[in-house]
A and B are shown apart, each in its own frame.
Chain A
Amino acid sequence: MISSEDAMKKPQPAPDADSAAFWRGLREGVLLLQHCADCGHVQYYQQAMCRDCGGENLAHRPASGRGKVHSFSVVHRAPGPAFKADLPYAVLLIDLAEGPRMISTYTGGNPEEVTFDMDVVLVCEKISDDVTLPRFRRA
């Protein structure tokens, strides 16, 4: 159960052994994708094993940052008090140019302007000394 005090704060990602390099990359301004040297699979969600072939020969490469909106939803009622000040905001499912799909939010414009298949580009948004979030603006 969550205390009222906790609900006032935005949740912060706590990197784990699978994702430490990914969050470090974002702090340096790049979105790292994992490329499997064995089968060529590219993955966004960070794990120390290829989801396709099970190989562990994964290389991190920065994404181009380009993508297209596959689906989206503009949030008008916040999931808790911590997000009320951000309303309305658009949550995006983005198909990255490299293939993987990821989830993020729209920045740098009116959320109501988001459309299906809209071209978007990565914005690394620093929210604290430790955490930079990958967000997207219109290309």
Chain B
Amino acid sequence: MTANSLRGKVAIIGIGMSPVGKVAGRSPLWLAADAAMKALADAGIGKRVVDGVLSCHAFASPFHRFSVAFSEYFGIQPTFSNTLQVSGATAATMFNIGAAAICGGLAEVVLVVGGDSLLTGLTPDLALRSMTESRDQQYEMPFGIPVANTFAMTAHRHMKEFGTTAEQLAEVAVIQRRHAARTPGAQQTTPITVDDVLNSGMVTTPYHKLDCSLISDGGAAFVLTSAEQARELGAQNPIYILGGGECYSHEHIFLMPSLTSTGAVESSRNAYRMAGYGPNDIDVAGIYDCFTGTVIMMLEDLGFCPKGEGGRFVADGHMTYGGQIPSNTHGGLLSFAHSGMPGSLFHFHEVVAQLRGQCGERQVAGAQLGLVHSLGAGFATNATTILGTEHTL
């Protein structure tokens, strides 16, 4: 643990989520604001208490300063705010930075919030093209290289080096679909088989359509405050931030140090060290799952299984109930919803709900410690946050 650790100093006291999936006629700002209303109601506080706002960008929103536009829309004037941009990793960084801002006295009550409408706010072509726009303008975009392709090349190399199979990749999608079937409001709940995934049409080898995350509308929001303030506000069931870690190993996929070992090794190592817990202690995980192979690689790099064994680990049932680390119990980006950068906020929503014991038939019995890992841009960005109940402090 470092001297200035934020361990246990900040609690999540409210969570909220807009409708997700296909939410026609609603803007990214509305989706964010609807989620924020619910998060504040969940925390039992009014919006005037909020003095900090952290957001991610929205593809379907024209605002350069989403967090500022959000505050105006929501009718608040925070004294701390920023719109963060490290692609898919942004979700976890909002919690890490929000906690640091509270510890450092920049804000007392921070709203972490995001919303986007990739499904109904953009045509499918434009949504895909928007994803391409995040690639290098000179070295990647002219070749027609979607971000999916960079992730695909890491998974493909993983198959070559470790013998990971297409069936093992597909198994991730099958398991998460099963999870989504028990999650109210999930976008895709129809059961699928490994064969369904393999026959769903190739997108970019080795990824078939059902190996890829959904395109969705939706938003989520969280209320963060200091542990002391949480007590003063009479927060029910606060969930504490125990550790955070990040790693930015490269910008361009061709400068990634290794295609099969990612910055998640470093980001999770730092988060575990701060939390004082290791991978074997974690009860439930939310793992960024833009693609099936991403989950397999993350199960390895987050320390849940040895390098190269992620495929077998999944096929042996270790990422679901009764296994070593039930992961993406809401269905993840693959089956619950993927509204761009806010997508990973749903992992946080689920892990907090699991730690509060609010997940009904999909509850992981006795869950006390959770981990969320967000990542983006072909593993260029990685951020890990470890959460725990009062008992884990």
Contact = CB atoms under 8 A, between A and B. Distances in A.
Contact of A101 (B129, B137, B254): B254
Contacts of B253: 93, 103
Interface in A62-118: 70-83, 86, 89, 91, 93, 100-105, 116
A14 B141 CA distance: 11
A15 interface: yes
Interface stretch (B77-85, B91-99, B145-153, B298-306): B145-153
A10 B144 contact: yes
A131 interface: yes
A82 B144 contact: yes
Max count, chain B CB within 10 A of own CB: residue among A14, A80, A131, A133: A80
A2 B133 contact: yes
B142 A75 contact: no
B142 A71 contact: no
A79 B128 contact: yes
- Interface size for chain B: under 10, 10 to 19, 20 to 34, or 35 or more residues? 35 or more
A93 B259 contact: yes
Could you say which of B157, B201, B207 has the most chain A C-beta atoms within 10 Å of its C-beta?
Answer: B157
A15 B203 contact: no
A74 B128 CA distance: 17
Given A2-B133, A71-B154, A73-B205, A86 B144 contact: yes
Interface string B119-146: 0000101101111110001111111111
Interface string B151-173: 01110110010000000000000
A73 B205 CA distance: 5
Nearest to B259: A71
A104 B204 contact: no
A77 B204 contact: yes
B156 A91 contact: no
Contacts of A102: 139, 254
B24 interface: no
A79 B128 CA distance: 6
Contacts of B153: 71-73, 91, 93
B138 A13 contact: yes
B349 interface: no
B254 A76 contact: no
B330 to A, nearest CB: 26
A91 B143 CA distance: 8
Contact of B144 (A16, A19, A23, A83): A83
A1 interface: yes
B254 A74 contact: no
Given A2-B130, A74-B202, A77-B203, A13 B142 contact: yes
B379 interface: no
Given A10-B144, A93-B254, A103-B139, A73 B126 contact: no
Contact of B156 (A15, A73, A79, A103): A73
B184 interface: no
B58 to A, nearest CB: 10
Contacts of A1: 59-60, 62, 126, 130
A2 B204 contact: no
A23 B207 CA distance: 33
Contact of A19 (B62, B138, B148, B160): B138
B3 interface: no
B40 to A, nearest CB: 29
Contact of A75 (B126, B129, B141, B204): B204
A85 B152 CA distance: 21
Nearest to A103: B254
B356 interface: no
Contacts of B138: 13-16, 19, 23
B132 to A, nearest CB: 4
Interface in A1-33: 1-2, 4, 7, 10-16, 19, 23
Contacts of B142: 10-13, 127, 131, 133
A23 B138 CA distance: 10
22 contacts: A1-B59, A1-B62, A2-B129, A10-B144, A45-B139, A45-B252, A45-B255, A73-B205, A74-B202, A75-B146, A78-B144, A79-B129, A80-B126, A80-B128, A81-B125, A83-B144, A86-B144, A89-B144, A93-B254, A100-B254, A103-B143, A103-B145
- In the A-B complex, list the 8 residue pairs whose CB atoms are closest, starting with the nearest: A79-B146, A80-B129, A83-B144, A73-B152, A13-B138, A11-B141, A71-B157, A79-B132
Given A72-B156, A76-B201, A101-B255, 9 more contacts: A7-B129, A10-B142, A11-B142, A45-B252, A73-B153, A78-B128, A91-B145, A104-B143, A133-B143
Interface of B: 59-60, 62, 123, 125-126, 128-133, 137-146, 148-149, 152-154, 156-157, 160, 201-207, 252-255, 259
